[in-house]
């Protein structure tokens, strides 16, 4: 979904149930029908209507009221249900011209396959296959965090006023980051990276 705040708020709010439960219920006068609705939501948005609110060099032409009205299209409960929030900054010319060799996609792909294999083995006796599908019971079993990570997570919860749902999502993302790093235990650096992916909670 491109330009997410441009959609009607009523249309966006109906995404909450399928994002949470992986199903959608349609109710009529005489009956209700539940349909499977598991999907991956990928959405993008600008920080304001003109697009320059957080730009380091260009000046935003929007008023504070306009920006607030634009961002208010996205409710807290909806944002809470989106696992990863990433703020993308403008790419500087020096970075575009940088000839430094980056990690090849095929190597990244192999690391992802290995992490998925770990998850399939972990949940071999479960009715699901990925970290994102874990419930409270599985989080308590498979998301053990070291003491430094626990302290960092507690601080983030208090300072950012994160919800219980955000707490669970941070644990799931941390578990995946740890899997990608081939770490049995979730460490402070995994928690820190997962917290960084909750940037929209600061809106």
- Residue 118 is assigned to a structural domain of this protein: no
d(CA 128, CA 124): 8
- What does the pLDDT read at residue 199? 66
- Residue 147 is assigned to a structural domain of this protein: yes
Q: Please check whether residue 85 is in contact with residue 200, taking contact to mean a CB–CB distance below 8 angstroms.
A: yes
Do 12 and 75 lie in one domain? The reply is: yes
- What does the pLDDT read at residue 173? 96
Number of compact structural domains in the chain? 2
- Among 51, 82, 113, the domain boundary falls at 82
CATH of the domain at 169: 1.10.8
Low-confidence ranges of the chain (pLDDT < 50): 203
- What does the pLDDT read at residue 29? 83
- Residue 192 is assigned to a structural domain of this protein: yes
- Residue 90 is assigned to a structural domain of this protein: no
Do 75 and 140 lie in one domain? The reply is: no
- Give me the sign of the Cα torsion angle 50, 53, 55, 57: positive
> What range defines the domain where residue 62 resides?
4-82
The length of the chain in residues reads 203
């Amino acid at each position: 979904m491109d330009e997410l705040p441009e959609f009607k708020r009523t249309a966006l709010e109906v995404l909450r149930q399928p994002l949470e439960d992986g199903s959608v219920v349609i109710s009529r006068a005489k009956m209700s029908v539940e349909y499977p609705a598991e999907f991956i939501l990928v959405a993008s948005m600008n920080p304001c209507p003109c697009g320059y609110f957080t730009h380091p060099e260009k000046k935003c032409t929007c008023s504070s009221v306009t920006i607030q009205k634009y961002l208010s299209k996205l409710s807290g409960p909806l944002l809470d249900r989106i696992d990863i929030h990433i703020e993308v900054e403008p790419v500087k010319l020096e970075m575009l011209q940088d000839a430094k060799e980056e990690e090849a996609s095929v190597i990244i792909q192999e690391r992802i396959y290995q992490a998925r294999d770990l998850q399939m083995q972990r949940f071999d006796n479960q009715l699901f296959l990925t970290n994102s599908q874990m419930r409270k019971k599985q989080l308590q079993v498979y998301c053990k965090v070291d003491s430094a990570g626990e302290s960092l997570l507690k601080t983030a919860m208090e300072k950012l006023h994160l919800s219980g749902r955000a707490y669970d999502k941070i644990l799931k993302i941390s578990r995946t980051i740890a899997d990608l790093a081939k770490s049995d235990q979730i460490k402070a650096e995994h928690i820190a990276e997962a917290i960084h992916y909750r940037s929209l909670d600061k809106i």
